[in-house]
Structures are given as C-alpha cells and as structure tokens.
C-alpha cells in the first residue's frame, strides 16, 4: 500500500469535483488492523479502501456488509455512515468494466483461467459467473484454497479448481480465451517482482492476458504473453475503475473517470 498510486487519482477526483477531502495511504501491520479500522468511525473520515492481504480479514471488524460483498466474501471499500462502518466490494465491477471496455472481452460462454484464490480472485470469480462465463478454472499454488473458492458455486461443470503446476494447468492455459493473474506475482517492490505464473508456458495468439498487478504496468507475465502474440490488459483500468466506484460510494457524486485515469497514468510515469 505504501507504493499505491490510489492517492494520486482519488485526490485528483476530489479536487476536480470540488470536494474538500484528501486520500492518503495507511501502511498497516496485521496487529494494528483493528485499531486502524476503528479510527474510521471518526466524523473526519468518509471511509477507506482495503488492499491485499486484508480484504477478507477486515470483514469481522465492520458493522454491516453489502449483500454483494458478503456473497463474494471480500471487502475492498469501507464507508463511514455516521459512525457505522459498511463494507462493499467494488473490485468485481471494476474488473468486469476493465475487461469489457479496455480488453474488448465478453466472458459469456467463454473459457477463463483465473490464477489465484485470494480476495481479488474471489471478486473476479463471482463477477465472471454472474456474467455467464462458459467455464472457469481457478488455479492456485495451494490447491485447497482454489477448491474452497470453486465450491462456492453450485455448477461444478462450470467452475473447477486445479493446482498451479502440472498438466491440468497447461491444459487450462491452452483452453482459455482469457487468462487472469490475481496474485502478487510480478508486483514491483516485493520478493515476487520477477515472478511470472506463465513462465516457460506457451500462450496462444489472440488470447487476452490480464494482470491485476499494475506496478509495473508491463509485468513479466504480460511481457511474456505479448511476445507470443497474446493481447494484454494491464491492471491499471481495474484499479482506476474500482476506485471510481469507491469514490461514488463515499461521496454520492459521479466519479470523474477520465480525470482519474489521467492522474493514474501521470503517477505511473513519474
């Protein structure tokens, strides 16, 4: 969170909209999470965003959970409603808008491979199933987590779990028209920044490869995919669009998405 560009585009949105507010990053240790969340009840706070690894852990610290966030089991947006903390999930809408508008992709009837089983993956999985995906394969390094997420969906023929390694993963890569990385592999300033879940695997031409990691914009996975003729979608559209949905919840005003995108792109260029 300390390297987040969210303050850049959220503050640009506040300024453009004439709203006297500021957005700042709060790097938080696990032991301090409860106290940090409780601080949001103060009248000076409209709310907050929640990032990895707290999107699931924060739920028990809130007073109310939106139906969609409860279904997903992941919260990325908190709204302070006169001291009552309400949890929402805007990752799902941000993800679907990103692949639709910026990836020119409709998941209806398609085969999708989703890498990861954390909070962001949960949002993507529920959004894809809600938008009539044909088949969804969830691959995770820890198979049990992928299995647990897949079990939330009643249609076992539509959603299936696999391990991140082995022949099942290779088959899923070959079958998918959309491949998504929802893990932190490839993220700058982490021990995994050189990571690529598709390392050494051939990707078919024309497949859309989306990395939810936005820093760097061209992650090792996206570079690898582009070199093999795949279409690529960076994590920036989802980041900005989920942030725009959060802005709407906090302020009740329509987010200036173009202004937010411009500020986000400027922050990435710095």
Q: Are 138 and 167 in contact (CB under 8 A)?
A: no
The pLDDT assigned to 1 comes to: 42
Query: Domain coordinates of the chain in residue numbers?
Result: 6-90+239-269, 92-236
- What's the CATH architecture for 92-236? 3-Layer(aba) Sandwich (3.40)
8 A C-beta contact, residue 96 and residue 89: no
User: How far is residue 122's CA from residue 81's CA, in Å, rounded to a whole number?
Assistant: 26
Is the dihedral angle over the CA atoms 120, 5, 103, 218 positive or is it negative? negative
Is 55 marked active-site?
yes
**CATH tag for 6-90+239-269 (out of 3.40.50.300, 3.40.50.10860, 3.40.50.620, 3.90.1560.10):** 3.40.50.10860
Predicted local distance difference test score (pLDDT) of residue 3: 67
- DSSP code of residue 133: B
Q: Splitting the chain (270 residues) into consecutive groups of 10 residues, what average pLDDT does each group show?
A: 82 98 95 97 97 91 97 95 97 97 98 94 96 98 96 91 92 97 92 94 96 95 97 98 98 98 92
Domains 6-90+239-269 and 92-236 share a fold: yes
Q: Which of 55, 148, 158, 188 is catalytic?
A: 55
């Amino acid at each position: 969170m300390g390297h987040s560009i969210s303050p850049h585009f959220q503050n640009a949105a506040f300024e453009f909209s004439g709203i006297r507010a500021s957005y700042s990053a709060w790097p938080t240790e696990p032991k301090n999470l409860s106290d940090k969340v409780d601080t949001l009840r103060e009248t000076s706070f409209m709310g907050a965003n929640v990032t990895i690894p707290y999107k699931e852990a924060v739920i028990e610290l809130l007073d109310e959970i939106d139906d969609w966030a409860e279904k997903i089991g992941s919260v990325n947006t908190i709204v302070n409603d006169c001291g009552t903390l309400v949890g929402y999930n805007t990752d799902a809408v941000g993800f679907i808008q990103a692949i639709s508008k910026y990836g020119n992709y409709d998941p209806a009837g398609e085969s999708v491979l989703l890498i990861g089983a954390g909070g962001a993956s949960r949002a993507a999985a529920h959004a894809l199933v809600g938008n009539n995906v044909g088949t969804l394969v969830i691959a995770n390094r820890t198979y049990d987590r992928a299995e647990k997420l897949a079990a939330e969906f009643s249609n076992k023929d539509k959603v299936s779990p696999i391990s991140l390694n082995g022949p099942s993963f290779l088959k899923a890569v070959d079958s998918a028209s959309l491949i998504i990385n929802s893990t932190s592999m490839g993220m700058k300033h982490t021990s995994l920044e050189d990571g690529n879940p598709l390392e050494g695997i051939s990707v078919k031409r024309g497949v859309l490869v989306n990395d939810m990691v936005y820093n760097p914009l061209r992650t090792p996975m996206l570079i690898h995919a582009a070199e093999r003729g795949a279409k690529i979608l960076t994590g920036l559209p989802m980041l900005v669009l989920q942030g725009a949905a959060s802005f709407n919840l906090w302020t009740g005003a329509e987010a200036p998405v173009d202004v937010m995108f411009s500020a986000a792109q400027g922050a990435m260029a710095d």
